[in-house]
Structure 1
């Protein structure tokens, strides 16, 4: 992220949860990613629900740990499409899932995630798939125990690193643009609404690039 954007973030005042959402969930909001994990303060939970209530994104709480709520945010249609891929289904079966329907996977994952936070023993590798990570990278992470990766960015990459690096660059671009829009005085709800319309978002994105 550029120094200019860090300066913008430092100077931004107002709703802290808006900045956190823009910073952490930009790839999801702009349609580049299927889902995202978000750790927020308990007092920010209702505000977060209000932010997303008119959006296409679904909020799925995973639990409370160390005074914060972990929330799984996802675009149902995009994530279900991702879950229909043969390699994703095969890896879910390998991990131990019999029913690979998203509605069935989520509550099982929540239990696994809460157990991991308490015991720090068995890591729920299905998390990578739920976050839309390429199955070849999730499988590589499992088989290599998180080592021997080719590149580390938003996740550890085990295959086609150049392709993933370009994708990570798009993620960074989306993050910078959303923070820019906040700095122009837009509310995060307005930004989410704009991003849900592909044609309008492309125009706004171009304007941001010109302004920068």
Structure 2
């Protein structure tokens, strides 16, 4: 007896595989230890369109995060996932905001204006290295990477660590903890349960 493939079922499985991969990558953003994550959307135009449709379908009513779709100058697509509550906490640090003002962000701090400015810069030819602040990396590491300050490079993990390693290790460990929690959720829940959970 030949079994017929239920195309809708196959589509749902493939869609959930991609979404689960995204959820694993942005677990720390969803759970709040990381304010944002940027993800490249690979593939030809049709593949990108399908992946973006899946992202929009899954995350459009998400209560924990928002997202921005970014088109780069070379036609690439990126998605910036944002935990606004965590982002507000990061940008409540006056040193971070003062540095962002120094590199050209609006003088008057407002989260939406800063996110808009970051998106504009992500669409430009020159990559905005200050994105490290928005990704939750310690300011000292962002400053060191950009050539400001007196900190020396001491290690490379997911980013370059400058100066005191302990501050960076704590941030890194929090990111990894939340990613592990999200991975466990992905392994034990179906896509509908995950949608309700986040």
TM over 0.5: yes
Contact 1:42 1:69 in 2 (8 A): no
Q: What residue in structure 2 maps to residue 184 of structure 1?
A: 188
TM-score by length of 1: 0.70
Count of equivalent residues? 176
1:38 Cα offset (Å) = 1.8
- Partners of 2:175 and 2:22 lie apart in 1 by 14
Contact 2:65 2:81 in 1 (8 A): yes
Aligned counterpart in structure 1 of residue 57 of structure 2, from 50, 70, 75: 50
Contact 1:80 1:102 in 2 (8 A): yes
- Partners of 2:51 and 2:160 lie apart in 1 by 30
**Which consecutive unaligned segments of at least 5 residues does structure 1 have?**
1-12, 117-121, 197-212
1:54 Cα offset (Å) = 3.0
Q: What residue in structure 2 maps to residue 207 of structure 1?
A: none
1:68 Cα offset (Å) = 4.8
Q: What residue in structure 1 maps to residue 116 of structure 2?
A: 107
Please state if 1:33 is matched with 2:34.
yes
Contact 2:30 2:83 in 1 (8 A): no
- Partners of 2:166 and 2:95 lie apart in 1 by 21
Larger radius of gyration: 2
Change (3 A) 1:94 1:64: closer
Please state if 1:138 is matched with 2:146.
no
- Partners of 1:64 and 1:16 lie apart in 2 by 26
Matches within 5 A, 1:116-155: 116=125, 122-143=126-147, 148-155=152-159
TM-score by length of 2: 0.75
For the aligned residue pairs, the C-alpha RMSD in angstroms reads: 2.7
Aligned counterpart in structure 2 of residue 79 of structure 1, from 82, 87, 101: 87
Q: Which moved more, 1:135-144 or 1:25-34?
A: 135-144
1:23 Cα offset (Å) = 2.5
Contact 1:62 1:114 in 2 (8 A): yes
- Partners of 2:39 and 2:21 lie apart in 1 by 9
Contact 1:125 1:138 in 2 (8 A): yes
